[in-house]
Structure 1
């Protein structure tokens, strides 16, 4: 699809969870991560120790490089851009799903871009980079091509995604990942109260995810809400009286499920149940 990736000199700004995974991955892909900056010097030093050749720096007067990658919280991107001293015309990208490319408009001395990895990053978890979708955006064709080459050196799933689509993707990811994890947390807490192991839910969780990946998820919806099982719904709501915020979530999700078109049985089969 693109030319064989060439070694790029890359500076990482930030040493948090994204940088902790991205830095070593870039080195393994053949790039030279030359410097790592963090507002916490110990964090920059710790990450540099994991990336051969990388030098931790405390100054934002940055050395020359082919690419500068901002791995800082969304709210810190503008502050770093305003404070850092990039070489004139530097190509600087952020890794955020929700921030527009236009965040760079106030800084005409740099060329802006986006390299957004669609994954959740946690300490102690390994990342299978070739499978991670990487979303690329840039203002010029030349910068786009450079970012595509870097992205393709890391992943086999690389897409050009403009800001509006990427922001929609980020919202979808919050529903699919963050909200789902919160709901799993509620399930975990309820089982703890009932003195039952969370592992009882594992086969159910796996089957739910497998079906949602194999079919449009709304078409394989199960449970008392989609069946309009009023008696069971009322029982569940009563059991959640001690947790009014969870009870409200239960009611809102029930209403949302019932607001979607119900799955249509085929071959005289009943809808799937839970």
Structure 2
């Protein structure tokens, strides 16, 4: 059984806590964070503390805080014997100030109030030494069926790819929703299209799956769309994306 201390009380920390609460090979023995109100959510299940000088001894310390705070938080763990691992997709392994350091990055989007199934989530691990890598792999397998060794350079580029396929895509959903609301049309009408788009790339390349007026270089439709858009920001976004799609496929037209 691996004993884990979780540092952080935000969205990811809560999801990790719930995942490990059902794990057979690992147990969170303490949650440490600055916000007492947020700590109260964890206090019914394990020890909590807002004092970073009173952190329990553990096999693994998981840092689930914003990227800019990882280095500072890891400083409180520099003398600990356990493995200190952050959960960021974008930060280097060496941002951690400890002898045994690692990365434990769940590649998924996490939203408050939304349940996710960790068994299907890829866990990307990296470590400063083989023994620590083995421990983090064991920890990952206690909650997920998909644990991958990914180095810092690969992980940063993977995280960049994730921003495109998740963060940017979700923003475009919000633009579509706003257009529907502005014109008294239900956003629900677009949900089957959103679902089919996501399902399609499970079995075929996104490049082959591309459709739409820009893919066909349907100039009249694109001009009509631009005339319908009154917001200059949305016009710029539409033009930028349409141009990128058109230039990608223009040799095939």
**TM-score (structure 2 length as normaliser):** 0.95
C-alpha distance in structure 1 between counterparts of 2:5 and 2:251, whole Å: 50
Question: How is 1:239-258 mapped onto 2 (pairs within 5 angstroms)?
Answer: 239-240=228-229, 242-258=230-246
Structure 2 unmatched runs, 5+? none
| 8 A contact 1:74–1:99 mirrored in 2 | yes
Q: Indicate the residue corresponding to 2:175 in structure 1.
A: 186
Q: Indicate the residue corresponding to 1:268 in structure 2.
A: none
C-alpha distance in structure 2 between counterparts of 1:100 and 1:66, whole Å: 21
| 8 A contact 1:8–1:67 mirrored in 2 | yes
Q: Indicate the residue corresponding to 2:33 in structure 1.
A: 38
Q: Indicate the residue corresponding to 1:167 in structure 2.
A: 156
- Are 1:58 and 2:58 matched, yes or no? no
Deviation at 1:32, TM superposition (A): 2.3
Measured on the aligned residues, the alpha-carbon RMSD in Å equals 1.6
Question: How many pairs does the alignment contain?
Answer: 251
Q: Residues 261 and 228 (structure 1 numbering): CA distance in 2 closer, same or farther, change over 3 Å?
A: closer
- Are 1:80 and 2:73 matched, yes or no? yes
| 8 A contact 1:63–1:87 mirrored in 2 | no
**TM-score (structure 1 length as normaliser):** 0.88
| 8 A contact 1:221–1:263 mirrored in 2 | no
Question: How is 1:44-193 mapped onto 2 (pairs within 5 angstroms)?
Answer: 44-49=39-44, 52=45, 54-61=46-53, 62-82=55-75, 84-104=76-96, 107=97, 109-193=98-182
